[in-house]
Structure 1
C-alpha cells in the first residue's frame, strides 16, 4: 500500500563532485531550477513570518538534473543520458468511500497525461527504468510507457526483482518485437553504462548500484498488498494484484562528479545495506513511517549526512499532474522536518512537480 502523509515532504573537464558540493553549500544554494531549497540561514526569517524557509537564489552547476514526476517518480538526466525511477503518471484514486485504501479497485491508465508528459517533459526514452517495488503507484504505468510510440522501438533496461519482472511479464513486457530488456536484480549489483568493450578497459559514463531496502511500515506495523512471485501470474486487474515483491534502492554515480542515492520509493530502509555509502544527494521517501523508529535521523546518519536531501512520495497521489493545484497537495511539513534533521551543514530541496532542477 502507498505511503500516507504523516500527521506531523577523456571528456571535457568538469568539476569534481566534491568541489561542486563544497562550492554549492558555501554559496547557500545547491540546484534550484524550478525548485526551492530550505537553508538554515533563512530558516529563522521564515519562521518569524510563519512560512517555510525557501531560497531560490542559486543554481547548481554539476550538469546533473532531477525532475519529480509525482509520488515516487523521478527523472535523472546528464550528458544526454536519462534514467527514470518508478515512473507512474496516472495517479488514479485508490480509496473507497470510507477514505481507506481499496485494493479491489480496477487498475486504470491515464493515456492523456502519459501522452502529455512524454511530449512536453520526458522528451526522450530512458536508458534505464529503476523499480523500487511492485505496487501500482510505482509499476502500473511502466508497460504502457514502454509501449508508447515514443519509446516502443528503443532499447530500455528495466531493473527490478524477480517478482517485479514477473508482474511486468504478465502485463505484456517486453512485447512482441520490442528491444526492452527486463533485468532481474536483488541488491549488491554495481552496473556500468555503457558496457565494457571487449578487450578494452574504459571508464563508464555512470554506474547504477542496487541496494536491498524495506517497504514503509504504517500504523499497524505492516503494509498491503504484500507477497512475492516465482512465476508470472494472470494479468493484473486490480490494485491488489500488484504486490510489493521486495523493495530496492539505487545509487547512480556520475564519474567523479556526483552520486545520487534513491531511497525514494518507501519511507523505510535497511541501515546495514547502505552502511559505508556516502552519496552527495539523497532522494528520500518522506511519508508513511509511523512505525519506523527515528526514520529521518537514522537515514541521514547512516548515509554520512548527505549535503543535499530531496523528499519524495509526499504528495496526495491523485491530483492530476497538469492540475495547477497539484503543487499544493505536497506535505511541506516533512521538508521543514528534514531541514531540522540535517541542520546547518545541509540543504533540503522542496521539489515541484515536473519542474527540473540542477544539482
Structure 2
C-alpha cells in the first residue's frame, strides 16, 4: 500500500530513489533549471530553487506526482490482488480485479497517466482510473493502446509513443524513452509479445502481454525533471544525455543484466 506521510528533505541535484526505500510523499527541494525547449536534453547550471512537487510511491513501480494542483500518475497499480508470484506458485490465470475503494483513495484527479508497459501490475487499474477521471490523457505503447481499447477507453484519450517523442501537455513536458523489461533467472520474462489490434476484453493476468517497455522523463512547469522507470532494465543508449533532477530506478531481483548498477 502507498504511504502518505510527508517528510521534508533536501537533496543533491540528482536524487536516486530505489524501490522500497521510497515510501513517502516527498516535497522536492532541488537545484533545477527550466528547459529551454521541450524535448532537448541540454541543461545549464542554475542556483537552487524550491519546487512544490511531491512524489508519492504507490507500490511496485507506481508513482503519483503532484505539482501546483496538477497530478500525474505513472504505472498506478493499487489493487494488489494475489497472483502467487512471491510465493513460488504463480497462477497466470489469476482473474483481473480492481479495488475501487483503494484506487479512489489514492489516485487524486490525474490529468496524465503514463504507462511503461502492459503487464497487469502496471496496467490493471488504468481502465478504472480512466473511467473515474474522464479528462485524463494516457501515454503508452501501441500494445497499451490496443488493450485499453479492449477495455473500452476512448482512443482519442490515448497517445501512442515508441521512444524519442517529447510531448507538451500545457507546460508538463513528457519525454518518452525506449526502455527494456526486467529479466528473470532464465534471462526472460513473463508474457512477452506485442499487439497490433484490440483483443477480446482481457480477463486474466496472462491476457496482458508486455508489449515493449518505456521509461519517461517528466519536466514540470517549474523546471524540476523526473526520470521514471517501470522495470529493472533500460537502454543506456536511449537514455544517454538525459539529466533528470530525480530518478526512480528499479532494483533488479537477479543478476541477469550485466553491470546494471554501474550503468545506472
Name the CA distance, whole Å, in 2 between partners of 1:209 and 1:171: 26
Cα RMSD (Å): 2.6
Q: TM-score, normalised by structure 1?
A: 0.59
- Aligned partner of 1:122 in structure 2 is 107
Name the CA distance, whole Å, in 1 between partners of 2:152 and 2:57: 27
Name the CA distance, whole Å, in 2 between partners of 1:134 and 1:231: 14
* Structure with bigger RCO (C-alpha 8 Å, 6+ apart): 1
Matches within 5 A, 1:210-221: 210-221=176-187
Higher share in strand? 2
Name the CA distance, whole Å, in 1 between partners of 2:121 and 2:204: 12
- Which of 192, 198, 208 aligns to 2:168? It is 192
Name the CA distance, whole Å, in 2 between partners of 1:133 and 1:157: 16
Q: 1:112 to 1:282 in 2, by over 3 A?
A: same
Contact kept in structure 1, 2:233 and 2:252, CA below 8 Å = no
Q: Secondary structure at the match of 1:105?
A: coil
Q: 1:224 to 1:157 in 2, by over 3 A?
A: same
- Which of 47, 66, 74 aligns to 2:63? It is 74
2:125 corresponds to 1:141: yes
Which consecutive residues of structure 2, in runs of 5 or more, have no partner in the other structure?
1-8, 27-48
- Aligned partner of 1:250 in structure 2 is 216
Q: Secondary structure at the match of 2:249?
A: strand
- Aligned partner of 1:158 in structure 2 is 138
Name the CA distance, whole Å, in 1 between partners of 2:100 and 2:51: 34
Q: 1:98 to 1:157 in 2, by over 3 A?
A: closer
- Aligned partner of 1:280 in structure 2 is 245
Name the CA distance, whole Å, in 1 between partners of 2:107 and 2:125: 14
Q: Post-superposition shift, 1:129? A: 0.4
Deviations 1:107-146 (A, max 9, x none): 122223223x2xxx433x2111000000000001111112
- Aligned partner of 2:31 in structure 1 is none
Which consecutive residues of structure 1, in runs of 5 or more, have no partner in the other structure?
1-20, 37-59, 195-204, 300-359
2:82 corresponds to 1:93: yes
Name the CA distance, whole Å, in 2 between partners of 1:108 and 1:254: 33
Contact kept in structure 2, 1:267 and 1:289, CA below 8 Å = no
Contact kept in structure 2, 1:132 and 1:249, CA below 8 Å = yes
Contact kept in structure 2, 1:84 and 1:126, CA below 8 Å = yes
Larger radius of gyration: 1
Q: Secondary structure at the match of 1:208?
A: strand
Matches within 5 A, 1:1-359: 24-25=11-12, 34=24, 61-95=50-84, 99-115=88-104, 117=105, 121-123=106-108, 125-148=109-132, 151-152=133-134, 155-174=135-154, 181-194=157-170, 205-255=171-221, 257-263=223-229, 265-299=230-264
Q: 1:187 to 1:167 in 2, by over 3 A?
A: same
Higher share in helix? 1
Contact kept in structure 2, 1:268 and 1:289, CA below 8 Å = no
Q: Post-superposition shift, 1:295? A: 1.1
Q: TM-score, normalised by structure 2?
A: 0.79
Q: 1:130 to 1:34 in 2, by over 3 A?
A: closer
